[in-house]
Structures are given as C-alpha cells and as structure tokens.
Structure 1
C-alpha cells in the first residue's frame, strides 16, 4: 500500500485523462493537436465571415490597401512562415512549440481557404472551381486526424509483429499499396487514393476500376481506346448523378453555395 512504502499514490485518472496523457502528451502530439484544432477553427471562422460579407450582414468588410484587395491568404502565408520557423527554433518543446503550432495552423487555415485562388490564379472563391478549397481543407483535416490517431499509412499497421520483422514482407506491402494509391490518383480518384493509403483494399479497388474523364490516365491511356473512354464516361455520369447532390450539399454547407450564374449548366 502507498502509506507503507512511503510513495505517494497516483490519483485515479478518468478514461479521458488516460487517453490524453497516453495518446497525446506522452507521444509528443500536443503541437499537432493544437495545429489541427487551430486549422479547422480558422477555416470555419473565416468561411463564416466571408459568407457574412457576401450577404452584406455584420460589421465585416473586405480589406484593401492602395486599391488592391488583400486576400486572407496573405496574412496566412505570414503566419505559416512565422509558425514554421518558430517551431524549428523551439524544437516543438513545451508551450513555445504549441504556440508555434497554433500560429502555423491558423496560417494554414487562411491559406487553404483560398487554395482554389492559388491553384487557378484567379478569384474563383465563390465559383464552382472554388470548391477545390473546401476539398483541400477536408483532405488535409482527414490526413491530420489519421496521423494524430496513430494510423500508419499503406496498411502497415495491419501487419502482425512477425510480419513486421520480415522486412521483405513489409517493404513489398508498402510498395504495392503505394503503387495502387498512385494509380487511383492518376485515374482521378483523390479520395480513393487517400483512403487507400490506410486501407489497401480500397486502393486496389480504385486501381482496377475505370478512370475518371479528364484524369491523367484518361488522357494518356484512353485516347486510342474510344470504347473504354465511353464506358468510363458513362460510369462517371452514373456516379455523379448519384453522389454529386450529396457531396454538393456538404460542400455548400461548409463553404457556401457558388454563384448561380457560374454553376455549370
């Protein structure tokens, strides 16, 4: 007993406290968690403000200097640079490292909220193309959550300890799954490639199915195969009719509805 040994007894921890110290504090993931939370919150707050400005409600206004509209990606880049270099300088140790992670997360949220503007080099924020920003934020959030949860990419965490010891099996599994994920990505299936990095079956399924129209695979390998290209287009149309309304509503909920006159007809 504690009073007989002279050592103080550890206070009983709740399951949440146990998880906090075992999975976040002890592995040194607190800066990553801080960056993730600040990233997501910044995106949500920024989208709320921009939607209020668009609707003409509230005290918020676009910022301009010398007749030039200052996009919020500009301060975002500054914060990312400051947070990144501060994190390197502190070595992510203690609260300075957490503060650096928060700065980086806020900056990343501001930059990726305007990812589509950087991608297309045009002000497409409220257009159909602007939805690429929402996709980039959701994709980044999913990857960060997987890293935070300790999920090892390419299905390595599904291997037994004996298989882990066999370097050949491990290397072969990683290479095959990585190749399948790359093929899925080349076929225009971004989300399948991301999910397949964790679940090998998803990557292989995406790799063997038909490519999306306009993808790298379609442009390079289907150009001399008109029947295959037509089958791929028919399948893509069926898929889009089924799922586009659902994904569109989710994107509208997160990022706002694109301008009606700029929607594809």
Structure 2
C-alpha cells in the first residue's frame, strides 16, 4: 500500500490534489451535519449573524478558496505550504458548493427542492476530481500513446472527436454525461449516440418531424428518471437531510432556526 501511494500519488505530485479532495468532502459532510443540528435545534451550534445580517457559510468559503487558490499558485507544487493551501482551498470549495443553490438562485433555498442542486454539484465535483486523481485526462488525452502524440494531426483529430461527442451529449440535454465524458470519453460516446432528452435543443430540432422518435425519447426519459431520480433523491435525503422532521421551538420559524423576534424564518 505504501509503495502504491508513493508511486501513484506522491511521485506524480498528486498529494495536494488528494488533500484538497479529502478536505472538500470532509468540510461538506461536517457542514451538513452542523446545519442539520441547527435546523433541528440541537447541539451548541447557532446561525452566525452580524448587525442583524445573517452570514452564510459561502462567505468564509469564498475567502478560503481565494486564499488557498492563490497561495497554492504562489507556493509551488511540492512544498509544505502547497499542502496547507490545498487544504484551505478544499475547505473553502466545500463551503461554497454546499450553498451552490443559493448562488444559483440568489435566494436562500438551502432546504428546498432547489437546494438539492448543491448536493448534486458536490457529488459531481467529487467524481470529477476523483477521476483526475486516478489519472484521467480531459478529452481522452491519456489514451493517446507517445507515437500519436508526435503526430499532431492524429492528436488534434482525437481531441476534436472527443470534444464533438461531449458537445452532442450536452446538446441532447445530458449535462452530467457531458461533464463526466470530458474525462471518460466512452461516457460521452454513449450519451451522444443515445436518444436526446425531451425539451433539449437536439430534440427540438432533430425530432421536430419525427413523432416516433419524440415518443421513444419521452418514454426513455420517463423510465430513466423514474428509476434514477428516485435513487438520487434518497441519496440526497440521507446526505443533505432534506426529509428530516424538524421540531418547532417557541419563537422559531418552521425550519427550527428562524429569528426569535417573529421575523421571516431563516431557511438555514
């Protein structure tokens, strides 16, 4: 195990990336645990306010991300400082993406269905960084051998073809497939060859005069969403705590952590 870690993580210079990923996941899990305790009115944790202004944890997250990112660039890859800044960056990224839905909607949707996007983005980010850590390169560059790299025409053509599959998958309304496909070209190929999702740009253009294709696409999307969305929502409920029953406390809003003065409840 030690030899594998040295050869695959330390020697290629991936230790900062591993530390950033570990701190990212740990920060997200700790943050979700604390916010769930605050919502339930348990434990010593409380919302942070300053002068009547509620401070979301995305604020310190942005600061830590900036400090960690710029610090890592300035410190060099193999220094101890780079490891420290990688941890700061991962911690900040975990805080920021935990409130991704708030940034996207410009509204406090932390415990709503819109807030599920935060969990989804965190999982997607974890998958992408883990693939990068495992040695996958964007658009299948790692699958091109040394001879092909020397042949610029083959190299550029390989990149162009992989990018085309990613673009088609995106046009077909398969965002997750397209993103993962940038690192795993086979995933992009599958997404590009299968039917487009109803309502996507590809479906509106290509299936406009093909009612059977529209019907097949709609049926496939229905069965896919019925199976996978249910599993995803269960996972989000476990990780994000969306379906937890929250006791109402006197002077608190319906989420269990609102202001005591009777003002609008804080959804955090």
Instruction: Tell me the TM-score range normalised by the shorter chain.
Output: 0.7 to 0.9
Q: Which of 201, 205, 211 is the matching residue for 1:221? A: 205
2:139–2:185 contact (8 Å) kept in structure 1? yes
2:136–2:184 contact (8 Å) kept in structure 1? no
Q: What do residues 154-198 of structure 1 show as CA deviations (whole Å, max 9, x unaligned)?
A: 233233443333322221111111111122122221221133223
SS of equivalent to 1:198: coil
Q: Which of 59, 80, 83 is the matching residue for 1:74? A: 59
SS of equivalent to 2:139: helix
Q: Return the offset for 1:201.
A: 3.0
Q: What do residues 103-126 of structure 1 show as CA deviations (whole Å, max 9, x unaligned)?
A: 111000000000011011111111
Question: Which residue pairs with 1:162 in the alignment?
Answer: 147
Distance across 2 between alignment mates of 1:198 and 1:50: 33
What is the aligned-residue RMSD (CA, Å)? 2.3
Question: Which residue pairs with 1:131 in the alignment?
Answer: 116
Question: Which residue pairs with 1:48 in the alignment?
Answer: 33
Q: Which of 68, 72, 92 is the matching residue for 1:107? A: 92
Distance across 2 between alignment mates of 1:122 and 1:226: 40
1:154–1:197 contact (8 Å) kept in structure 2? yes
**Mean CA deviation greater in 121-130 or 163-172:** 163-172
Q: Return the offset for 1:95.
A: 0.9
1:173 equivalent to 2:154? Answer: no
Change (3 A) 1:93 1:166: same
Question: Which residue pairs with 1:18 in the alignment?
Answer: 3
Change (3 A) 1:89 1:225: same
Distance across 2 between alignment mates of 1:225 and 1:51: 50
Structure 1 portions without partners, runs of 5+: 1-15, 261-265
SS of equivalent to 1:151: coil
TM-score by length of 2: 0.83
Pairing 1:116-265 to 2, within 5 Å after superposition: 116-218=101-203, 221=205, 224-225=208-209, 227=211, 228-257=213-242
1:189–1:212 contact (8 Å) kept in structure 2? yes
Distance across 1 between alignment mates of 2:223 and 2:99: 30
Question: Which residue pairs with 2:72 in the alignment?
Answer: 87
SS of equivalent to 1:60: coil
Q: What do residues 190-220 of structure 1 show as CA deviations (whole Å, max 9, x unaligned)?
A: 22113322333321221132322343444x5
Q: Return the offset for 1:88.
A: 2.4
Provide the aligned length of Structure 1 versus Structure 2: 245
Say which structure, 1 or 2, has more relative contact order (CA 8 Å, 6+ apart): 2
Change (3 A) 1:158 1:90: closer
1:31 equivalent to 2:31? Answer: no
Structure 2 portions without partners, runs of 5+: 246-268
Change (3 A) 1:121 1:222: farther
Distance across 1 between alignment mates of 2:6 and 2:15: 10
